[in-house]
Chains A and B, each alone.
Chain A
Amino acid sequence: MNRVRMVGVLACVALAGYAATIIVRDPTLHPSIVGMLIWFAGALLLHDLVLFPLYTAADRVIGLLPATRVPLVNHVRVPLLGAALTLLVYLPGIVRQGEPVVLGASGLDQGPYLVRWLWLVLAMTGVSALVWVVRVTRRSAADG
């Protein structure tokens, strides 16, 4: 069994190494190798050592919210996660990065995205708050 697993690990490393030769075999890509490695390792480290601690810390802060009859935690968590996720995925438009290329490709600028994202965050926050109020009201009514 261990032998099979060892073969699996070696095959995996061999395939990844062979994949790297796609870059190595093309001399025009050689100046990019360091950059690619930095982005590969950077993506990993940024997730594990920046993003994860950051969202964990944020969640701990949310845990400090005052206790209410209908807990606030998830009503803060959900819009916050929605905001973070959309910011992460659609970041270039929101922070207007790469605008000359976007303009050349599409003929359109990146002007509206930040405001649209803020409206989206506001909408998610509003809906979440509204649901909380409804839940509080229903709980109060049920308690008489």
Chain B
Amino acid sequence: MVTERLGRARAALASVAMRIRWRSPIRGPWLTSVFGLVLLCALPVVIVTGLLDWVAYGPGAIPADVGALHLPRLDWPTRPAWLFRLTQGLHVGLGIVLVPVVLAKLWSVIPKLFARPDRNLLKLAERATLVLLVGGILFEIVTGLLNIQYDYVFGFSFYAAHYAGAWVFIAGFVLHVALKLPTMVRSLRSRSLRTELRTPPARTRPEPPDEGGLVAPEPDPPTTSRRGALALVGGGAVLLAGLTVGQTLDGPLRATALLLPRGRTAPGDFPVNRTFVASGISPDAVGTGWRLDLGAVRLTRDELAALPQHTADLPIACVEGWSTQQTWSGVRLRDLAALAGVADPTGATVRSVEEGPFARAALTAGQVLDPDSLLALRVNGSDLTRDHGYPARVIVPALPGVHCTKWVAAIGFSR
């Protein structure tokens, strides 16, 4: 019964496959390998910067329990100050830029999807792992794109799904590279890139028939050359780069991120990742009655402002890939530690007036002691606005934006 059904399904697939006439005269192992090479070079950067994001979050990272599937845990450094701005900007930016390359790569191998299943069990198993590879990359692209645009339509934890999905993809990716690397190298050597870049559509000929069945046996006449196809995909990547890079730039160029939430800012302001209204904090809680609780001492805002102030140019960089550099002034965290009677802190816990999952952040000793780590009271020469964390917020070099707690209520320095 089951074998009969399987047989029928196989026959149906085979008849569909036979009815499809692949028409592209440029589809073939060389073109596929060019896209493959680009992805082979660029995807590891996206993978590593993504995994670094988990490390940067420190002990509070989500998902918390990832078993052995993480880069070595380390105290995230505070120098260079733009470190997280770079890693997370690369992760999101490069991830977006690669979308057309991934789509082109999938287009270039799509005949294999409809190819007759092999009778060899090993080959069938290898083919099945492509579900992990292709499903994995598409899942990561879709969840990532939705997350950076604050669209949580999927309804599950983005962090857990994107992190687990990444490792599913990595599993498929590593096997695919191991299996296909020789084919890629051989195919790349079969044609000269320089010659292809000089070949117009009129002189474009199909690649010789290949084992994998990518080359169409009866192609249509060419409407574009391989050069044209590469330019099209490269152009798509450049277009997306141009529409994305603005979310990491300050000044008028930020507006070039035309279609991203972080291309816009209120006039004269810089982006926030949570407004005061959305925090649900009552205005009274950050009014004249507000005190900073350091355990041993409680300080009013005026008392904080009377302490020695330090100014530093520091970026705020968010997991969504956007970042901005501003000039912050306030009290050094290490001065506050001394004031609290902890001369040599081994770390700190910062608590916000706000309640919720990101209302508490743990800092390492290095992050507390960096001379530019501040409890900021002012930004760009003016008092913080409520959206930016008035009465006081934490700003630490290279710390993910989500841990730069706003509306700080208490800091506990650990001995």
Contact = CB atoms under 8 A, between A and B. Distances in A.
A96 B126 CA distance: 41
Given A39-B139, A106-B262, A22 B163 contact: yes
Contacts of B113: 48
A25 B272 CA distance: 34
B275 interface: yes
A85 B104 CA distance: 12
A52 B278 CA distance: 40
A117 B259 CA distance: 7
B126 A22 contact: no
A104 B278 contact: yes
B239 A85 contact: yes
B167 A16 contact: yes
Contact of B259 (A32, A48, A94): A94
A43 B165 CA distance: 12
B165 A40 contact: yes
A126 B180 CA distance: 42
Contacts of A5: 122, 126, 179
A90 B164 contact: no
A106 B164 contact: no
Interface stretch (B150-158, B211-219, B303-311, B375-383): B150-158
A112 interface: yes
Given A6-B122, A107-B275, A92 B150 contact: yes
Given A22-B65, A105-B150, A105-B278, A85 B100 contact: yes
A9 interface: yes
Interface in A5-38: 5-6, 8-9, 11-13, 15-16, 18-23, 25-26, 29, 32, 35-36
B274 interface: yes
With a 10 A CB-CB cut-off, give which of B110, B129, B220, B259 has the most chain A CB atoms: B259
A23 B162 CA distance: 11
B239 A26 contact: no
B266 A108 contact: yes
A137 interface: no
B291 to A, nearest CB: 27
Interface string B269-305: 0011111011000000000000000000000000000
- Size band of the B side of the interface? 35 or more
A102 B107 CA distance: 33
Given A63-B223, A92-B151, A105-B150, A36 B259 contact: no
A58 interface: no
B67 A21 contact: yes
A50 to B, nearest CB: 12
A136 interface: no
Contacts of B154: 35, 39
B258 A107 contact: no
B160 interface: yes
A44 interface: yes
A139 interface: no
B164 A22 contact: yes
Given A15-B167, A29-B160, A107-B275, A47 B67 contact: no
Contact of B63 (A6, A18, A26): A26
A90 B259 contact: yes
B272 A92 contact: no
B125 interface: yes
Nearest to A98: B151
Given A85-B240, A104-B274, A104-B278, A15 B258 contact: no
Contacts of B129: 9, 12-13
Given A22-B69, A23-B161, 13 more contacts: A11-B175, A18-B67, A18-B69, A22-B163, A22-B164, A29-B160, A73-B223, A86-B259, A92-B150, A106-B271, A107-B277, A113-B258, A120-B259
14 contacts: A6-B125, A9-B175, A16-B167, A19-B165, A22-B65, A23-B161, A40-B139, A40-B168, A74-B228, A89-B99, A91-B145, A93-B261, A104-B274, A106-B261
Q: Which 3 A-B pairs have the closest CB atoms?
A: A104-B278, A19-B167, A98-B151
Interface of B: 63-69, 96, 99-100, 103, 106-107, 110, 113, 122, 125-126, 129, 131-132, 134-136, 138-139, 141-143, 145-146, 149-157, 160-161, 163-168, 170-172, 174-175, 178-179, 220, 223-224, 228, 232, 235-236, 239-240, 243, 258-262, 264-266, 271-275, 277-278, 387
